[in-house]
Amino acid sequence: MAIAVIAGIGIYAVTSDDDPLPLNVDFVLGGGDNAVGKGEQLEIQGQFGGLAVTPDNVTYLFAEENDTMVMWRKKPSGAAERIQVSGLDSVEATQTAVAPDGSIYLAAEDLWKVSPAGKATKVIERRACGKANPLAATSISDFCGVTVTGVTVDKDGTVYVGDQLIQTPPYGSYVHRLDGKSIELVAGRPAKDGESVKHSNPAVRNGVDPRAGTKAKDVVVPDVTRSGALAAAKDGVYWNTGPGIVRINRDGTLNPFVAGRSPGKISDPEGPFGTVGRALDAQVQSGTGGQPGDDLAVIPSRDEVYYSDEGEDHAPVLEGEFRWQGVESDSQKKLLNESGRGDLVRRVVDGELAPVIAGVQAIATSKDSLYVAVTTDGGDKSSPENWDTAVLRVHLPKKN
């Protein structure tokens, strides 16, 4: 059995022939039994809307409360702050990101920017294009027709968006870079008239397993509804193209990352952080939830990439191979027992793939940690105030 020490908290089994040890988590926001409480007593009533974390572990949680949006902010020390968001009605972001200036971007069909004080402005609006070609647009004001499904911000403050054009030609999935009021195409192209969208087409294969030197603008994504999530890293930007994940390098070329080369070589998981094979042999599974994007996040200091896989649909569990440890209060147990089903999160480090945690709505990372969001399923209740939402921090194995 291989073992790793977790930051002063016991020993975590990475691989074992026996029942794996539970995954350790801590509640950061929510999980209490009092909506006006503090710390461990805080209950966050509202349906999940978005999750973002800064490099220094400031957590932002968006929740819908009766058709209004609230932003919860929690610094590593101090009480949680509840901030009413102005200018933004009910949304559920497929991905969020925090800029160096403290602004939070939400990919929620449109692209929204929320200031630290809670004022929301629409950066990219989903609207009809008419005769305009959105891929030729050089200004954000001329940009049109797309559904924004992913967003990431690099350390220099450059914003990248993953977007889909599915209502009018040229259909496709793309990555754009924002610079002030201008916008530039970074990756993706539409299929040409009569062009095959099967994997045998090199342009389609480029979105999963590109050859060395392949240009990012020579990718045709056939299933655009599954693509769009992004994650900025020191070497470029990771892009979820649906069945795979590629890295867009600084020079505009591509590297394969999750490529689906030999899926049969991926073994069944034996618990959290247990290696199941090479990421290049894996593929991002398609689920039945219909959610675009499939979350992506990077911990640069650990050279780790995390992604959610909707092909594995779970509820948070207190028993079994993916059981969560660190759930202490009755209200925390109640929240997890009533939580809706969510994705399985996988980690890639040194090219090796491993499952991490099951049953989450979203993921986010800081410079040293992984965070996840969970929300109750609401049952047959009709109003968001009947939902409860929480953010948890996942204890990671010590980096070798």
CA angle 248, 254, 255 (to 5 degrees): 100
Mean pLDDT score across all residues of the chain: 87
**Over pLDDT 70: what percentage of the chain?**
88
Average pLDDT over residues 322-330: 90
Residues 6+ apart with CB under 8 A from 110: 122, 123, 124, 125, 126, 148
The full length of the chain comes to 400
- Two tokens at 198? 């099967």
Long-range contacts of 11-17 (CB under 8 A, 24+ apart): 12/273, 12/395, 12/397, 13/271, 14/273, 14/274, 14/275, 14/397, 15/270, 15/274, 15/275, 16/270, 16/271, 16/274
What radius of gyration, in Å, describes the C-alpha atoms of the chain? Answer: 20
Structure confidence by residue, pLDDT tens digits, 217-238: 999 998 777 889 999 999 999 9
Structure confidence by residue, pLDDT tens digits, 346-363: 999 999 999 999 889 999
Whether the bond between 170 and the residue before it is cis, its omega within 30 degrees of 0, is yes
Structure confidence by residue, pLDDT tens digits, 71-90: 999 999 888 999 999 999 88
SS3 of residue 330 by DSSP: helix
Cα separation, 109 vs 111, whole angstroms: 7
Cα separation, 21 vs 322, whole angstroms: 9
Q: Is the pLDDT confidence value at 12 over 50?
A: no
Task: Name the residue among 349, 232, 329, 243 with its Cα closest to residue 287.
Answer: 243
What pLDDT is stored for residue 379 in this prediction? 66
